[in-house]
Chain A
């Protein structure tokens, strides 16, 4: 399996590799419990340069599963110079472990020092150019395309010149990079800022989607969701994922669970549900003439 892996594109359903879940996945490897686990995702900021048991755990996974790197601290929208030393370490890490996909957030996390959290970029014309320039430079250093993810947030910047969907489209186009679509983040923002998530989804550039996230969250008050990744995925978010598959075709999709981590069986229940939706959509797609599907994608 390790041999085929370098040619193995990410596909199917995956799970974020949290330390709490890791021994459980190892114990359940090869059993029916993990039968639908096609890939795992890691944060390079947690694993680069980690030795000892961490290096051994990582090796165990790279030998058995395709891996996606989902970065947290690149600060694509930040005011500091892009951390190119860090990016070269990322490149070495991706090469060493034959990791085919690296994605980052459309957000910022530094202001001269790291804050280690995802903060909102104001949706302005200047910000589009700034972020796009940094994505291009990142792709140059990594010598590959990256995908950037629509982020969740809580404050709409009062200096915005455009809406979020327009900002995302403008950045992706100017940077010429891929889209990592977070379905839950669309829903979270739709509640936090009062827009229609279905309309937003239809505005996404479907041809750029290479990867998706789905997650649960904490609904604090009627108009405020905190994106904790600490609950089960709610039905409206599942519905949005189904809709995204219908609109754009199936893409590899990962369940994020970062807090309030349940037993593996519970997390796998949701991973299996992703796999089920993918199979259902692919079943429908097979029944339709191919051009009908591609027309649907093109119209999106």
Chain B
């Protein structure tokens, strides 16, 4: 990226020297003959654009890290990362993929960043809604869950992190969070227990009847009394329908 590749046409050597300087002004001098004042305009606007594209997705992480650490992190991302997608909504995703290699971050940072990114991912997920009937027996039929839905487990209570609450250690048990898009296209977060999370994972492919999913769940949990599990499970499925997490039954 330093523009030293002399096999390239001159204009491309110049272009690469130009962007190398924008990405890392202290490491790469601006191309010869370019006025400092004008070069600075590019240094600022390109970085600021990237900063607002990433920052919009990570308001909490940004505040928790503080302005200086955040800026330094973005500087490093900009200098080191080669973004390969022309789509703007992939910028925050690339940032998320970059984070694990940063050694200086607090231990919860990657989980928190994922939690913030997933809202954008679910909001814009391009999904197809299967044919379904909103009414219908959730035990005998195949429950259809919201097509844009992710069942997540984090080692840190990401939903509670703020400037005033920065967890020092991982949770003993992971926190299970469901994020989904309801039928009004709003993104919702729901904290749930491990069993409900597992049930939703089983239902998500849209292949199992409610009964088959509950039986599978009973087996995995080593639950002996399947009758009580199914009575309980039927009520749970109804509750998920009330919350717009289950949209109905496949037709």
Seen from chain A, the residues whose Cβ lies within 8 Å of a Cβ on chain B are 43, 45-46, 48-56, 73-74, 77-79, 83, 86, 108, 111-117, 119-122, 124, 126-127, 130, 154-155, 157-159, 224, 226
Contact A154/B42 with A79-B8, A124-B11 known, Cβ cut-off 8 Å: yes
Q: In the complex, what residues of A have CB within 8 A of residue B35's CB? A: 155
Q: Does B9 contact A (CB under 8 A)?
A: yes
Cβ distance A50 to chain B, nearest Cβ, rounded Å: 5
Contact-residue size bin, chain B (C-beta under 8 Å from the other chain): 35 or more
Bound complex: CA A127 to CA B16 (Å): 14
Q: In the complex, what residues of B have CB within 8 A of residue A114's CB? A: 83-86
Partner of B15, one of A74, A86, A122, A158: A122
Q: Does B91 contact A (CB under 8 A)?
A: yes
Contact A51/B127 with A111-B16, A116-B83 known, Cβ cut-off 8 Å: yes
Known: A43-B88, A50-B126. 20 other contacts (CB 8 A): A45-B86, A45-B87, A46-B89, A49-B87, A53-B123, A73-B87, A79-B16, A117-B46, A117-B49, A119-B22, A119-B42, A120-B18, A126-B11, A127-B11, A154-B41, A155-B35, A158-B31, A159-B33, A224-B38, A224-B41
- B91 and A79 contact, CB distance less than 8 A: no
- A51 and B49 contact, CB distance less than 8 A: no
Q: In the complex, what residues of B have CB within 8 A of residue A77's CB? A: 15
Q: Does B12 contact A (CB under 8 A)?
A: yes
Q: Does B1 contact A (CB under 8 A)?
A: yes
Q: Does B39 contact A (CB under 8 A)?
A: yes
Seen from chain B, the residues whose Cβ lies within 8 Å of a Cβ on chain A are 1, 8-12, 14-16, 18-20, 22-23, 31-35, 37-39, 41-42, 45-46, 49-50, 53, 81-89, 91, 123-127, 148, 181, 185
Bound complex: CA A155 to CA B38 (Å): 6
Partner of B12, one of A50, A56, A79, A83: A79
Q: In the complex, what residues of A have CB within 8 A of residue B127's CB? A: 51-52
- A116 and B14 contact, CB distance less than 8 A: no
- B123 and A52 contact, CB distance less than 8 A: yes
Contact A126/B39 with A48-B87, A111-B15, A113-B83 known, Cβ cut-off 8 Å: no
Cβ distance A268 to chain B, nearest Cβ, rounded Å: 26
Cβ distance B83 to chain A, nearest Cβ, rounded Å: 4
Q: In the complex, what residues of A have CB within 8 A of residue B91's CB? A: 116
- A52 and B124 contact, CB distance less than 8 A: yes
- A159 and B10 contact, CB distance less than 8 A: yes
- A113 and B81 contact, CB distance less than 8 A: yes
Q: In the complex, what residues of A have CB within 8 A of residue B18's CB? A: 119-120, 155
Cβ distance B188 to chain A, nearest Cβ, rounded Å: 13
Q: In the complex, what residues of A have CB within 8 A of residue B15's CB? A: 77-79, 108, 111, 119, 121-122
- B86 and A52 contact, CB distance less than 8 A: no
- A159 and B16 contact, CB distance less than 8 A: no
27 contacts between A and B (CB under 8 A): A43-B88, A45-B87, A49-B87, A49-B124, A49-B126, A51-B125, A51-B148, A52-B148, A52-B181, A74-B86, A86-B86, A111-B15, A113-B83, A113-B84, A115-B23, A115-B50, A116-B46, A119-B46, A121-B15, A126-B9, A154-B41, A154-B42, A155-B18, A155-B42, A159-B10, A159-B14, A226-B45
Cβ distance B62 to chain A, nearest Cβ, rounded Å: 19
- B11 and A73 contact, CB distance less than 8 A: no
Bound complex: CA A229 to CA B241 (Å): 46
Bound complex: CA A79 to CA B13 (Å): 9
Bound complex: CA A25 to CA B88 (Å): 23
Q: Which residue of chain B has its CB nearest to the CB of A123? A: B11
Cβ distance A299 to chain B, nearest Cβ, rounded Å: 33
* Closest CB pairs A-B (n = 6): A158-B33, A113-B82, A51-B126, A73-B86, A111-B19, A53-B185
Q: In the complex, what residues of B have CB within 8 A of residue A55's CB? A: 126
Q: Which residue of chain A has its CB nearest to the CB of B5? A: A79
Q: Which residue of chain B has its CB nearest to the CB of A155? A: B38
Q: Which residue of chain B has its CB nearest to the CB of A126? A: B9
- A115 and B22 contact, CB distance less than 8 A: yes
Give the most central of B31, B33, B87, B91: most A CB within 10 Å.
B87
Partner of A115, one of B32, B39, B46, B123: B46
Bound complex: CA A188 to CA B45 (Å): 16
- B185 and A121 contact, CB distance less than 8 A: no
Give the most central of B15, B33, B34, B125: most A CB within 10 Å.
B15
Q: In the complex, what residues of B have CB within 8 A of residue A78's CB? A: 15
Q: Which residue of chain B has its CB nearest to the CB of A51? A: B126
